[in-house]
């Protein structure tokens, strides 16, 4: 869920009982808090059910992004919805970048998203990456760090 101005955005999924077996129907909704009106903006990629409900809004409020995992491939997918025309850009992330528990990401400006990911599944080493939403280029921007070193003996993060 994310907000920008008078709008609240949320990614949701429903199953259509009239279309068995259960077929997912993920979509992006926008709630106008001023007019108290809910509208369906777009259908989202339905190849994953395991995550993808975290969304982020660009600083200028013109794009909404969702991260999801493509079922059966091990790949991750950023879906970027351009709110002006509801066009969806899909940017696949290489299998070598794994989001085991790092599902959060943040827009740093109107062209880049930064996220943390592991170098391989079940690794304790993570790095920060930057995605250019216009070119699809993903660049590692920090070295790989052992996450166990980020916590004190008492369990508090530094």
Superfamily of domain covering 2-150: TolB, C-terminal domain (2.120.10.30)
How high is the pLDDT of residue 124? 67
How high is the pLDDT of residue 59? 94
How high is the pLDDT of residue 67? 83
Report the 10 Å Cβ neighbour count for 140.
Answer: 13
Could you say which residues of the chain have pLDDT below 70? 1, 14-24, 46-53, 71-72, 74, 95-96, 98-103, 119-124, 145-158
How high is the pLDDT of residue 119? 66
pTM: 0.76
H/E stretch holding 71 reads: none
How high is the pLDDT of residue 70? 74
> Considering only CA atoms, which of 118, 122, 108 is closest in space to residue 145?
118
């Amino acid at each position: 869920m994310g907000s920008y101005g008078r709008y609240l955005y949320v990614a949701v999924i429903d199953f259509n009982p009239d279309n068995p077996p259960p077929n997912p129907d993920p979509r992006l909704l926008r709630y106008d808090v001023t007019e108290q009106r809910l509208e369906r903006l777009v259908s989202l990629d339905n190849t994953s059910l395991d995550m993808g409900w975290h969304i982020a809004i660009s600083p200028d409020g013109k794009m909404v992004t969702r991260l999801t995992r493509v079922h059966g491939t091990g790949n991750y997918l950023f879906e970027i919805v351009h709110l002006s025309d509801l066009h969806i850009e899909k940017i696949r992330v290489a299998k070598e970048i794994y989001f085991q528990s790092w599902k959060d990401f943040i827009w740093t400006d109107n062209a880049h998203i930064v996220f943390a990911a592991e170098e391989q599944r079940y690794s304790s080493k993570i790095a920060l990456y930057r995605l250019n939403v216009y070119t699809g280029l993903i660049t590692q921007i920090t070295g790989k760090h052992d996450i166990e070193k980020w916590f004190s003996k008492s369990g508090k993060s530094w």
